[in-house]
Homo-oligomer: A and B are copies of this chain.
Amino acid sequence: MSTKASNGIKRVGLAPNLTSGFYGQDIISVRQFTRDNLDYIFGVADEMRAVVRRVGSTDLLKGHVLACVFYEPSTRTSSSFIAAMSRMGGSVIPINEVRYSSVTKGESLPDTIRTLESYADVIVLRHPEIGASEVAAKYARKPIINAGDGVGEHPTQALLDLYTIRTDLGKIDGLHVAMVGDLRYGRTVHSLARLLCLYDVRMTFVSPEILRLPLDVMNEVKDHNLPVRETYDVSDVMADADVLYVTRVQRERFADQAQYDEVKDCYVITPELMDKAKEQMVVMHPLPRVNEISYAIDDDPRAAYFRQMENGMYIRMALLAAVLGKA
């Protein structure tokens, strides 16, 4: 596989495995990662966390410039990347106004990317269309990091989710992971499920009938011979789950209101439900939440969703350092 480090125009296949290290590589899909790759990134993230907690920042990426290109808004993700770059001494070109920019004058994504890479050392791209990061990576000489492409992938989110499981529970193998809520449209659920296929885990998918996990993701999990169950009610998994990964069930997904009203309470995590849970487990959520996790459990040590956010910064520090050859 060719690398971008040489500054030559590269034409790589779709989301290649990171077989030759991260330097100069694009981060497009969770499919690029192996357990070894993940161990490496998680190790770097551990170091970043230690540095930030001890002294706040490093100078690792001093003089480096990140172009943070968001075709659709995502305060959480863009803030996390800006913080990550800043805490390594680098600079950021924040581009949130793409709707007003040359894109609305009709410029193609490749032209925009080739322009921005002439200013920056690495590009983080959020785009509403599936495959946009793949296209950007094809034309760019500098590394592209996919920060979400429509209903496609959001690999850095899946990495921070997995990192949070590993950090909070000390391991991934052997765990029972329950995913709850909208499993049909939830991009983060699909990516995390795919990453978990690299490990020896059990998965339970908890959702209303019309929001069940898509066939392709389910088949991928089954192909790895991992034990899988599906259920409609989250109380079925409370006593046994090591990880409760909660996502939002949106009213708009239901054809009629009565159908929604019937199921909605099965997917709200309350203190009463938490009473049934193990002492050592984590409740996760990609945020934003609306009603699906009661505020009353925010101070429960098992509530991991804000730690998850913090971990997002360390994972993004690790990825930026890695693709710039400084990890």
Contact = CB atoms under 8 A, between A and B. Distances in A.
Contact of A306 (B64, B114, B306): B114
Given A309-B118, A313-B119, A111 B79 contact: no
Interface size band for A: 35 or more
A106 B73 contact: no
Contacts of A63: 55-58, 87, 89
Interface string A90-115: 01111111101111011100111011
A82 interface: yes
Number of copies: 3
Given A111-B288, A288-B105, A313-B119, A65 B91 contact: no
A4 to B, nearest CB: 15
Given A9-B299, A101-B75, A118-B313, A111 B287 contact: yes
A135 interface: no
| Most-contacted residue by chain B among A76, A115, A310, A313 (CB, 10 A) | A115
Contacts of A86: 65, 91-93
10 residue pairs, one from A and one from B, having the closest CB atoms: A57-B63, A75-B101, A86-B91, A107-B288, A83-B119, A118-B310, A73-B100, A102-B288, A118-B309, A56-B63
16 contacts: A9-B299, A56-B121, A57-B62, A63-B89, A73-B97, A76-B101, A82-B93, A82-B119, A102-B287, A106-B290, A107-B288, A110-B295, A111-B287, A115-B306, A118-B306, A118-B310
Interface of A: 9, 55-58, 62-65, 67, 73-76, 79-80, 82-83, 86-87, 89, 91-98, 100-103, 105-107, 110-112, 114-116, 118-121, 287-290, 295, 299, 306-307, 309-310, 312-313
